[in-house]
Structure 1
């Protein structure tokens, strides 16, 4: 049984790897084309501390500050070439081992705190450099008319095997109003990657071990499909970090020796299937034995205490099983 803390720690460490991080965004944005370069990714401090817009109090001739602090899972900066021009962008991933029913609000807070932080940083730079203020409006905000902020794209990677049944946009969290009112309500959508429902064709668009991780989680409840997915996969060896994610998210027992850097997942899954088959056979034998002893008790041939003893149960446990 996975613990939330262990699962979060393992999946966060895994998604932080540049090859996996880039692979997720190449799938989301470019359909698997290798545009986001892992080598160009640079880790950014995930602590979002912001003093929103340096609000100016004209009566007191001073700025009022209200600090807010939040922590993302992973945030990286990169440069992407588009139309022969370099575009600077921030990419963030929130890894989820369980469904979060307020995800649009959570992600929206992260994104807008980051935008607010950029505005504050730009204003602070203007003050430090003593840049000339060209209007009262620029003085109030500290953000000049020609200033620009860096776009942020936040992605949710859900590692659970169940379908994400949480909201995927802000308005999903609201009571339905008339279309006249709703068209004035600003919406916010989340970008989501989840194992459930992803096709084998789409799995092939992933170039890192994220392909096998998502596939194993997707088929974790069907051992035959899981086996077919892995044996048809040309990449049978997997890095240890990916194997750990599969282990913690599927409750699969994977034996990893000290010093190993990769593991043969086909062998691991084959061992798991055989182990489960043995358990099912033993459970079948026990059910058969229980049925025989139950009938003997009902026929008055054996008393309840003796039958319970032969099943290594208490009399009360055996009585419950009989029912």
Structure 2
């Protein structure tokens, strides 16, 4: 994922309750299949190495946007999200490669384990790298499309090949690959239990500015106490922050968190003038770190803000925030 929109969505999905709700509300239509406590974040990086026909080493690397494994009664399952702000015309191939690399990685891990244990029972198991009873963890990927236009790309692999008429008979022997496209137009917002219901509701009326404004103003308590991750996500996707700036919200001063953080940073500079630069910066970082923690701003994002606002190196900023992060 690249760009501010993608980063905001990624930060939103870092919260296990949001990640699980995305699958429960879309693929499982509101059924609570995944629970936040079942999830364990996985690295989005996949890498495989193999030898080509000439003996040369070939390495393949891919990076997923968000991946978690969910524990089950006997094993686990892998759930992945590819975020898209625009149509991707090669998405079936892209997701097929990602999933295939995950399965290939599982095979390699099992093979390495068996070779170390030397527990193969015959040549067939040795050559395949797996024992007869070995099974792989299932992998499912969602393409979360948060663009405001219509998705115009293929939804399965069969939409992509141009099969010559004389070779039509080959199609039944080809393997298709489906894209699990999740977008505002094909989900029911009421199926979601987290702020995703607001995300999808507002995405669904992206072309109706008055409708979005009305939706927010009709839910003052919900939007007054909305999490920073949701606020940041909606601001980047739909620029809805301007509709928080009504008299009712501004008097409370509880929603426009970005504005509040800017004011805290400015306050730190004023403190610096009054108490000396070093002391003023210390007071400012302390205030910023404490309010970020109360608002639920992620630690890493707080470090980024301190780095930017106070002109510090990321290492110094991290050490400073750690002093005040309870």
TM value normalised by structure 2: 0.68
| Distance in 1, Cα, partners of 2:117 & 2:218 | 61
Query: Residue 207 of structure 2 is aligned with which of 212, 216, 221?
Result: 221
| Distance in 2, Cα, partners of 1:136 & 1:65 | 25
* C-alpha deviation, 1:4, in angstroms: 5.2
Q: Say if 2:131 is the partner of 1:144.
A: yes
C-alpha change, 1:213 and 1:130, in structure 2 (3 Å) is: same
Other structure's SS at 1:30 match: coil
Deviations 1:141-174 (A, max 9, x none): 2122221111001111111111111111111112
* C-alpha deviation, 1:10, in angstroms: 1.4
Question: 5+ residue gaps in structure 1?
Answer: 263-323
Q: Say if 2:193 is the partner of 1:194.
A: no
Other structure's SS at 1:68 match: strand
Q: Which residue of 2 aligns with 1:67?
A: 59
| Distance in 2, Cα, partners of 1:180 & 1:27 | 39
Q: Say if 2:121 is the partner of 1:123.
A: no
Q: Which residue of 1 aligns with 2:246?
A: none
Q: Which residue of 1 aligns with 2:172?
A: 183
Q: Which has the higher helix share?
A: 2
| Distance in 2, Cα, partners of 1:44 & 1:244 | 24
Partners of 1:51 and 1:116 within 8 A in 2 = no
Deviations 1:265-295 (A, max 9, x none): xxxxxxxxxxxxxxxxxxxxxxxxxxxxxxx
* C-alpha deviation, 1:91, in angstroms: 0.6
* C-alpha deviation, 1:193, in angstroms: 1.1
C-alpha change, 1:22 and 1:98, in structure 2 (3 Å) is: same
| Distance in 2, Cα, partners of 1:111 & 1:65 | 22
Name which one, 1 or 2, has greater alpha-carbon Rg. 1
Q: Say if 2:132 is the partner of 1:134.
A: no
Q: Which residue of 2 aligns with 1:42?
A: 40
Q: Which residue of 2 aligns with 1:112?
A: 100
Q: Which residue of 2 aligns with 1:76?
A: 68
| Distance in 2, Cα, partners of 1:142 & 1:215 | 48
Q: Where in structure 1 do 4 or more consecutive aligned residues deviate above 4 Å? A: 176-179, 231-234
Q: Which residue of 1 aligns with 2:160?
A: 173
Q: Give the CA RMSD over aligned residues.
A: 2.7
| Distance in 2, Cα, partners of 1:219 & 1:65 | 50
| Distance in 2, Cα, partners of 1:24 & 1:142 | 35
Q: Say if 2:78 is the partner of 1:90.
A: yes
Kindly report which structure 2 residues correspond to 1:168-317, keeping only aligned pairs within 5 A, or say none.
168-177=155-164, 179-195=168-184, 197-198=185-186, 202-233=188-219, 235-236=222-223, 237-254=225-242, 255-256=256-257, 257-258=260-261, 259=291, 261=295
Partners of 2:77 and 2:138 within 8 A in 1 = yes
Query: Residue 7 of structure 2 is aligned with which of 6, 9, 32?
Result: 9
Partners of 1:44 and 1:76 within 8 A in 2 = yes
Deviations 1:222-248 (A, max 9, x none): 123223433455733321111111111
Question: 5+ residue gaps in structure 2?
Answer: 243-255, 262-290, 297-326
Deviations 1:106-128 (A, max 9, x none): 11111000100010110000111
Partners of 2:41 and 2:69 within 8 A in 1 = yes
| Distance in 2, Cα, partners of 1:41 & 1:171 | 33
C-alpha change, 1:144 and 1:51, in structure 2 (3 Å) is: farther
| Distance in 2, Cα, partners of 1:91 & 1:144 | 25
Query: Residue 99 of structure 1 is aligned with which of 87, 90, 95?
Result: 87
C-alpha change, 1:229 and 1:252, in structure 2 (3 Å) is: closer
